Structure 1
Amino acid sequence: MRDLHLTLNQTQRVRLEAALHSLQSLAPAAASAAAVTVADTIPVNHEDNILKGHGTSDQDGEVVATLCGVVERVNKLIYVRTLRARYKPEVGDIIVGRVIEIAPKRWRLEINFSQDAVLMLSSMNLPDGIQRRRTAVDELNMRTIFEENDVVCVSRTLALFRLRLRQLMKATKIAFTLLHLYHSAEVRGFQHDGSLHLQARSQKYGKLERGQLLTVPPYLVKRRKQHFHHLEQYDVDLILGCNGFVWVGEHVVVGDSEKTSTMVDQKTSSSEVETFTPLETRKHICRIANAVRVLSALGFTLTAELIIETAEASVSSNVEINDMLGAEFYVQTAEREAKRRADLLKKKSGTR
């Protein structure tokens, strides 16, 4: 559990401790061995020439952890990856960000990274859907696409750290081949401050409206093939951003370019067009969002299946939306997850 502060009575405390103990006992041995706390000894099997990386130190000939986290190893290099670290981007990630600044030919986004991300005007589809060169008029109309504090879904970090590139070019002679795989035009967009380049070249990417933006630890969102989920029974869209930003909002049907062009032609100012979300849909959004909050506070990996299961459990137990953040529902969720993992382990053991 991370940052979980609940007022529990004695019975709830005993139940929660029992559920957490059961979850810990069900964890794989390899995962338990990889997790370390401060002053834990990291086994290296008496190997020579071990390189001690971030979060480690040498004490009396032993490698000792100086941080709480997970032990990672790359050849001879051993380091500790702290779970409280900020988001570490990788090419191909689906992320959700918030626009913080509009600059010439680009937007700057906050993506829970040590640097702001950059979304170039040339790296996204124009509202009219036509593939053409961006003009000065397009640059003047940037604020009609995204403005400050807008929540945006984008894809594929097109830039890495300059330091990482330099290390790659020094370490191997095929660096230029790897650069070609990332496309030369995109790689030339590196920023001197180490910021990232993003793109939004699909209709499913863009501005997110009529929903809630949640922030969770990035390690709870695993990289998967599908990060966009339409929860049909609730008519709600769920986007699990790899950077720890989770979007829960009203379902939006992605239209084709002709419809988009028509909408642009008929567009009026945002003050004149009022968007209305039905009350039932808003309740569904709040219920799904609270399910994400509960699972995140308990430290469970976020998946669409687990989020739906948690929301459905609150409905079947007649738990009101605001009561989902109460102590009793936290305990019930932990017990339910412990039982689910135990049943899954028994099922795997029975099939062997």
Structure 2
Amino acid sequence: MRKLQVSLSLSQTQKIRLDKALEKLQSCTTNPNASVIVADSIPVNYEDAFLKGLGTADHNGEVVATVCGVVERVNKLVYVRALRARYKPEVGDIVVGRVLEIAQKRWRLEINFNQDAVLMLSSMNLPDGIQRRRTALDELNMRNIFEENDVVCAEVRNVHNDGSLQLQARSRKYGKLEKGQLLKVDPYLVKKSKQHFHHLEQYGVDLILGCNGYIWVGEHVEVRDSMVEDQISDVERQKITANKNSTSLEEQELIYTPLEMRQNICRIANAIRVLSNLGFTLIVEVIMDTVNASNTKNIEIHDMLGSEFHVVVAEREADRRISLTKRKK
């Protein structure tokens, strides 16, 4: 938080307001001993047998933390889950990545992991929507599906023992992402849940919270059923392809994202940046509350990254958590 205060160059009044908001947030924490920094003592019951896991060590007869994070206990195992660590993938995670290379029957993606992920051609839903074996012609046309620097949404299919990662994109909700912004935040700020795809109907924007810390904010795209796709004739597909490849001014205007939509995307993206700077968990309710607060206070999009709005968001989040705590009681 000190780095935040320096980067924002807060005034004296803003520093006092921010400190008060942080004190309120700390008072709402159910277990203050859960968060530790390096050399903090971890309370354990020495009478019962326990196992020291990652992020812990012995020092003068006490168990201390060797990393900053949250103390986790699983049966007899005690370890510290580092917060600002690289993404650790699990099967079923929704991730957003960028294509780095096209290889033989596969794409190589960067997903904020210590190794690049692999998306096989056989694990990809083809544009025609027909389930069939991949041929040599499909391999030659791989660049028509994804090319270098494309942003892609996929699901973790398998994590091998050597750390290599394999993805899949067999559903219509996965695939290439266009007309939007790609944001990078700390992976621990994205909580794993049942729903990582969100359609913000009020703004006509799609929000994808990748478990790997990559977040996509883009124009809403309707996911058509495969049965509807199969009804499109080959002639119509050729017309669509020709329209995409044409470069006339009128057709380019149809491809461009409207100004209002771009403003909505930028406003939501800046709200996520503010929450990330403050270290708040990124959930849809908090993101929408931050966006609505910027609209209510008539804050311009570029002013959302200023020091005043950061303080306002911290105060609102403190009030929200206090109200939630009172409801539980």
Q: TM-score, normalised by structure 1?
A: 0.86
Tell me the distance in 2 between the aligned counterparts of 1:270 and 1:37: 55
Structure 1 unaligned blocks of 5 or more: 163-192
Structure-2 change in CA distance of 1:271 and 1:302 (3 Å): farther
Kept in 2, the 8 Å contact 1:2–1:298? The answer is no
Tell me the distance in 1 between the aligned counterparts of 2:133 and 2:84: 42
The answer on 1:200 being equivalent to 2:202 is no
Give the C-alpha shift of residue 198 in structure 1.
0.8
Aligned match of 1:172: none
Tell me the distance in 2 between the aligned counterparts of 1:3 and 1:277: 36
Q: Which range is displaced more, 227-236 or 39-48?
A: 39-48
Structure 2 unaligned blocks of 5 or more: none
Structure-2 change in CA distance of 1:97 and 1:20 (3 Å): same
The equivalences for 1:247-326 within 5 A come to: 247-257=216-226, 260=229, 262=232, 264-265=237-238, 266-268=240-242, 270=245, 272=247, 274=252, 275-326=255-306
Structure-2 change in CA distance of 1:106 and 1:2 (3 Å): farther
Structure-2 change in CA distance of 1:2 and 1:278 (3 Å): farther
Structure-2 change in CA distance of 1:138 and 1:331 (3 Å): same
Aligned match of 2:321: 341
2:287 partner amino acid? I
Q: Secondary structure at the match of 2:276?
A: helix
The answer on 1:213 being equivalent to 2:182 is yes
Q: Secondary structure at the match of 1:159?
A: strand
1:131 partner amino acid? Q
Q: Which of the residues 180, 202, 217 maps onto 1:233?
A: 202
Tell me the distance in 1 between the aligned counterparts of 2:327 and 2:49: 43
Instruction: Determine what percentage of the aligned residue pairs are the same residue.
Output: 68
Aligned match of 1:95: 95
Aligned match of 1:179: none
Aligned match of 1:122: 122
Tell me the distance in 2 between the aligned counterparts of 1:270 and 1:284: 28
The equivalences for 1:25-64 within 5 A come to: 25-29=27-31, 32-47=32-47, 49-64=49-64
Structure-2 change in CA distance of 1:260 and 1:54 (3 Å): same
Tell me the distance in 2 between the aligned counterparts of 1:74 and 1:103: 41
Tell me the distance in 2 between the aligned counterparts of 1:2 and 1:264: 56
Root mean square deviation, CA, Å: 1.7
Tell me the distance in 2 between the aligned counterparts of 1:130 and 1:159: 24
Aligned match of 1:141: 141
Q: Secondary structure at the match of 1:158?
A: strand
2:224 partner amino acid? G
Aligned match of 2:66: 66
Aligned match of 1:169: none
Give the C-alpha shift of residue 60 in structure 1.
2.2
Q: Secondary structure at the match of 1:194?
A: coil
The number of residue pairs the alignment matches comes to 316
1:33 partner amino acid? N
Tell me the distance in 2 between the aligned counterparts of 1:70 and 1:348: 23
Give the C-alpha shift of residue 153 in structure 1.
0.6
Q: Secondary structure at the match of 1:22?
A: helix
1:246 partner amino acid? I
Kept in 2, the 8 Å contact 1:128–1:264? The answer is no
Q: Secondary structure at the match of 1:121?
A: strand
Give the C-alpha shift of residue 348 in structure 1.
2.5
2:22 partner amino acid? L
Structure-2 change in CA distance of 1:247 and 1:57 (3 Å): same
Give the C-alpha shift of residue 347 in structure 1.
2.4
The equivalences for 1:149-168 within 5 A come to: 149-155=149-155, 157-162=156-161
Tell me the distance in 2 between the aligned counterparts of 1:147 and 1:284: 27
Q: TM-score, normalised by structure 2?
A: 0.91
Q: Secondary structure at the match of 1:337?
A: helix
Kept in 2, the 8 Å contact 1:108–1:118? The answer is yes
Give the C-alpha shift of residue 72 in structure 1.
2.0
Tell me the distance in 2 between the aligned counterparts of 1:67 and 1:228: 32
Give the C-alpha shift of residue 258 in structure 1.
5.5
